[in-house]
Amino acid sequence: MSIDVKICGLSDQAAVACAVDGGAAMVGFVFFPASPRHLTPQQAAALTGDVPDNIIRVALTVDADDALLADIAATAGIDMLQLHGQETPERVKAIRARYGMPVMKMLPIAAAADVAGPEAYEDVADRFLFDAKPPKDATRPGGNAEAFDWSLLKDNSCRKPWMLAGGLTAENLAEAVKISGAEAVDVSSGVEDAPGVKSIDKIREFLAVANSL
């Protein structure tokens, strides 16, 4: 079977087109000033307009306030909100209700106990993203090219769809999927030539590997 892929941190039209043409299931746009991939809702709108309706357009936010979320929902042409911060289950529930969009909650993983994280969010999130816990000196919670022990996810009890993220590249994707049992993955830094600079060749290669699995 092929693996669903989300190409995240897109910031230019060529990279968006490459993701779409290569068969990505989702395209992600970052709304977090500390990230080198940060966009405004207006900048994102210029990129999402040509994305086909069968591809999910995802907004990555980090503990965003209501003003930013409202601007994203009204302006950016987004289908799903990805909450990549310390949002509580109550906050996730409120965001989902207020903006009427499905929500994906990121959960940081470093040890076996972290895999139980979805339990608190099962009733309020539509999807989960398992990402590596950031280094202690990191300025952002994701996009750090950090991986974790993929075997921690094998046979996990999550009842909602979930994605694997963290340090994925075309070279290690097949191994990561085999070990974790993931049916969907998220990549950002692994398809870049430099932080925030997407590589058309790396996007194409990553999607080709995913489509071959």
**pLDDT tens across 175-187, in order?**
999 999 999 999 9
- Looking at every residue in the chain, the average pLDDT score rounds to 93
CA contacts within 13 A on the Cβ side of 200: 8
Measured CA to CA, the distance from residue 134 to residue 138 in angstroms comes to 6
* pLDDT 10s digits, 139-152: 445 454 568 899 99
Q: Phi and psi for 127 in degrees, rounded to 5?
A: -145, 165
27 - beta bridge partners?
A: 7, 57
* 3-state SS class at 112: helix
Least confident residue range of 112-116, 131-135, 169-173, 180-184: 131-135
Pairing of strands 184-187, 192-194: unpaired
Q: What are phi and psi of 113, to 5 degrees?
A: -65, -25
> What is the per-residue pLDDT for 133?
81
Confidence of residue 135 (pLDDT cuts 50, 70, 90): low
In the prediction, which pLDDT does 142 show?
A: 45
- Tens digit of each residue's pLDDT (9 = 90 or more) over 10-47: 999 999 999 999 999 999 999 999 999 999 999 999 99
Question: What pLDDT shows up at residue 67?
Answer: 97
Q: What is the CA radius of gyration of the chain?
A: 16
**Do 119 and 89 touch, CB atoms closer than 8 A?**
no
Residue-wise pLDDT tens digits, 88-123: 999 999 999 999 999 999 999 988 888 887 889 999
- Domain ranges across the chain: 4-151+158-212
Query: 59 by DSSP, 3-state: which?
Result: strand
Could you identify the residue written with the tokens 């409120």?
94
Confidence band (pLDDT; 50, 70, 90) for 1?
low
Considering the four listed CATH numbers 1.10.510.10, 3.40.50.970, 3.40.462.20, 3.20.20.70, the one that applies to the domain covering 4-151+158-212 is: 3.20.20.70
pTM confidence score: 0.92
